Amino acid sequence: MERIVFLDRQSLKAEVRRPSFPHAWEEHDQTPESLVVKNLAGATVAITNKVPIRRASLEQLPDLKMIAVAATGYDVIDIDACRERGIAVANIRNYAVHNVPEHTFAMIFALRRNLIAYREDVLRGRWQAQDQFCFFDHPIQDLHGSTLGIFGEGALGQATAVIARALGMRVLFADHPPPKAADVEFTDPETIFAQSDIISLHCPLTPSSRNFIGIEQFKKMKRSAILINTARGGLVDEHALKTALETGLIAGAGFDVLTKEPPKEGNPLLELRTPNFILTPHVAWASDGAMQFLADQLIDNIEASIAGKPQNLVT
């Protein structure tokens, strides 16, 4: 009989049906990394969203056959060690193709039209003190006719592009090493940085993509540009972003992710109090519908693997 252990059940606010095959089920609200081996002792299937499962832990878990990641990103898993040990790793695909792009554009609209700055002005009485019907303290930029540069041409990047084109925007996808999506025309990253009015990140965090946007990239961007990251913390040098916003290298940024989450030990971006920076707590993915879709696919992945017909494998 399979033994399934969910390491961080609290991270998923949805009904999770039990697999159809005989099994024992155990779940923990949260699991510190120091207790991963203890909680997974004897488990054949591990479920994790953000709890890391590294080589040192895997070496102490001889019964483990599968890791079901309750997310698309799988950087918390030591993929090489899993491959060496024959442990299948499956992730979630295409579950946030509407809500992440919608969150992306919520941030884009707010920043391009300076909604937060104008709202703060109203709350401070600025409008009430005027002698005409409006005031123009902050620039308001149209999306129609502007250029959106996208890093990542997967389902989320392409869904974001669909919205952009519907708004009359020009879309550029950044070139990168293979594999690449079919039927997507790529642009070199230098052109993306130089020409984009908005840059949106929808790519995975890998050793090659970590901190790939730093101060040198900000210097290449338009001073009127904004940067959106609903992908992964660690893609952008956070200290460099703080400097870029404080010195006017770029006009604004919207982030849903940080390098370490939750940021209990602080983060330079938490120090920003200006209306041209929006930070949300990694909730772009978290609509009720998307979470239920994720929960259902999570169990589908486990059932497929145990049936010998694995799906959505990353190893």
Q: Which residues are catalytic?
A: 232, 261, 282
Beta bridge mates, 227: 199, 253
- For the chain, report the end-to-end CA distance as a whole number of angstroms: 24
**Structure tokens of 151?**
């890093």
Q: Compute the distance between CA of residue 239 and CA of residue 227 in angstroms, rounded to an integer.
A: 14
Q: Compute the distance between CA of residue 206 and CA of residue 235 in angstroms, rounded to an integer.
A: 9
Contacts of 162 (CB under 8 A, 6+ apart): 101
Structural contact between residues 153 and 181, judged by C-beta atoms closer than 8 angstroms: yes
Q: Say which DSSP state 18 is in.
A: P
Residue 300 Cα distances to 19, 309, 311, angstroms: 8, 11, 9
Query: Tokens 């703060």 — which residue?
Result: 120
Residue 274 Cα distances to 184, 244, 314, angstroms: 36, 13, 40
Query: Tokens 């095959």 — which residue?
Result: 21
**Structure tokens of 268?**
């330079």
Residue 174 Cα distances to 1, 110, 143, 152, angstroms: 47, 24, 20, 7
| Burial track 33-71 (b if 16+ CB lie within 10 A, e otherwise) | eeebeebbeebbbbbbbbbebeeebbeebeebbbbbbbb
Structural contact between residues 14 and 292, judged by C-beta atoms closer than 8 angstroms: yes
